[in-house]
Amino acid sequence: MYRWRKTASLYTWGSRALGRLGYGYDEIEPLYRATGREFGVCLPKKVQQLGSIVISDVVAGGYSFTILTGEGKLIGIGDLESRSPHRARRRVPQTVDSGVPEGALAVPLQRNMPTTHPFRVGGVRNGQGRWVGVPRLGPGPVIHNNSSNNQGEGEDPASRLVTNPPADPTTTQRPTSDSNGEEETLIPPLTHSERAKAKELKTYKHTDVTFMSVSSGRQHVLALDYDNNVWLWDWSFAIPGVKLAFPTDDKQPKIQNAIAGWGYSAVVIDKQGIVIWNDVEEKQESLESDTLVLEEADITRIPGTSEHKIVDVVAGEHMLIFLADRGDIYYINTTANDALGHRPVLLEGFKSKLDEGAKFVKLSGSFVKFAAFTDNDKVFMGHRSDMQENPATAEPRIIPELQDVGCISVAVGDHHNLALLRGGKLLTWGRESKGCGAFGLGKMENVTQKYGITSEGGGLDLESPTPVEVKGRVLAIAAAGWQSAAVITQD
């Protein structure tokens, strides 16, 4: 597997709004350009700028992809916010002279988004109340390759669909770099072309962090390092991540997993169970600290989860699904009142559909959908809407094409889905919104003719999982929003 990973590359497709696919419009050959309303990419296309980086994992967010490299580093493509920063604020540590007054408050712009968010790190205002960003707090370098990366923003139709808010004049002068790998400083809010560039994720005051896992929510990323620390990025890939500390009797509790949900965050703490939290504002202890300290009032401890050895978790929107070591699956409504007042609900309807002697061994999913994998090659799909009345009796959605075929992974977007089969075969189904290309099957007119499906409301509906043609073997998949990704090797 490592040999394959060493020679594999990242391929992306779907909506390319906000630079989430990792290449500019000028780099997309006519064959790959979707003919729908989203100016997307309709076939898997290699992200050339990553060069020979070894990819251990890739996860998808609402507007981005985050890569965990073989060296334990993180690289972001796209960015975390759709337009402008959220409302939360906190003090910005001054690690070097940035031209920002000591103790200045991060005061991001307002955004009209009803979803709650875990924590925001913003630019700051100087003494005259002007935006100055955080130009030298250690934002990650742009990952350069010798291949052309001309991303003429003015010629990109997608750049006219969603635009960034105008930056203050003090942030418009962005240092550039040549092609020899020197760092380029990026100041949020990023332009479309800056979003498309691969950016190494940095951390406050630390240069030697090695990450072991990464998780992406809609607009934030959590990562767990080998020293048992959880790190958070929740505004921009160009702003360093902050370390989190949790209230506990143990000086440094063992973190088993860190999961970025669709509007909240969760960690699994040894002997304590699942802890979730939403907005946290101005909790950093001092300007010299690199740590955001969560207090007991900031978090919700899910009752009854400390009794289980938790082996896998899916954090969706208003729901959390977890798998216990005995093979049982549980549901939690993560809205504040339900999470505090109710114990996890055993999904008995899922359990009743298991073959005799079989058990669940793995979960995947995000937003409102999840997949549960059994030890006898079955895959059960679940949806939040099925859990509204009585989650205990909710039955799984069983897709025949995913049973007994060696399905090892399922990735879900807003409306489309991907499945990876043992041996590297890739399947897709669901809805391709506005013909954005998220299926990866080709141009809309060709797909409707080849698969006999019709275009409804400007999109495509594909009921059954259908093979996606790729050159090589697929090793991993990711999907969210209206975009897809796969790690593919030619070996």
Both 170 and 266 in a single domain? yes
Both 8 and 87 in a single domain? no
- DSSP H or E stretch at residue 65: strand 64-69
pLDDT at residue number 358: 98
Residue 482 lies in a domain: yes
Both 153 and 104 in a single domain? yes
pLDDT at residue number 455: 82
How many contiguous H segments (helices) and E segments (strands) does the chain have?
Answer: 5, 29
Return the number of other C-beta atoms located less than 10 Å from residue 248's C-beta.
Answer: 15
Domain boundary among 268, 301, 334: 301
pLDDT at residue number 453: 85
Amino acid identity of residue 317, one-letter, is E
The tokens of 288 are what? 């010299």
Residue 354 lies in a domain: yes
**Separation CA 160–CA 154 (nearest Å):** 9
Both 129 and 41 in a single domain? no
- Per-residue pLDDT 10s for the chain (491 aa) are 667 788 999 999 999 999 999 999 999 999 999 987 778 999 999 999 999 999 999 999 999 999 999 999 999 999 998 754 343 434 444 443 333 333 333 323 222 223 333 343 333 333 333 333 333 233 345 554 444 333 333 334 444 333 333 333 222 233 333 344 556 788 888 999 999 999 999 998 888 999 999 999 999 999 999 999 999 999 899 999 999 999 877 777 899 999 999 989 999 999 999 999 986 654 444 445 788 889 898 999 999 999 999 999 999 999 999 999 999 999 999 986 666 668 999 999 999 999 999 999 999 999 999 999 999 999 999 999 999 999 999 999 999 999 999 999 999 999 999 999 999 999 999 999 999 999 999 999 999 999 988 788 889 999 999 999 999 999 999 999 999 999 999 98
For 36, the domain range is 1-52+407-491
The dihedral sign for the CA sequence 14, 19, 20, 23: positive
Q: Quick one: residue 208, left, alpha or beta (phi over 0 = left, psi -120 to 50 = alpha)?
A: alpha
Both 215 and 352 in a single domain? no
Nearest-CA neighbor of 79 among 487, 481, 486?
A: 481
* Overall number of domains in the chain: 3
Both 486 and 391 in a single domain? no
Nearest-CA neighbor of 47 among 250, 199, 231?
A: 199
**Separation CA 240–CA 39 (nearest Å):** 31
pLDDT at residue number 176: 33
Both 10 and 116 in a single domain? no
Domain boundary among 332, 363, 398: 398
Residue 206 lies in a domain: yes
Both 139 and 249 in a single domain? yes
Both 114 and 237 in a single domain? yes
pLDDT at residue number 73: 98
Both 297 and 339 in a single domain? no
**pTM (two decimals):** 0.83
DSSP string, 331-373: EEE-SHHHHHH-PPEE-HHHHTTSPTT--EEEEEEETTEEEEE
Both 155 and 91 in a single domain? yes
Both 370 and 434 in a single domain? no
Residue 16 lies in a domain: yes
Domain boundary among 349, 365, 398: 398
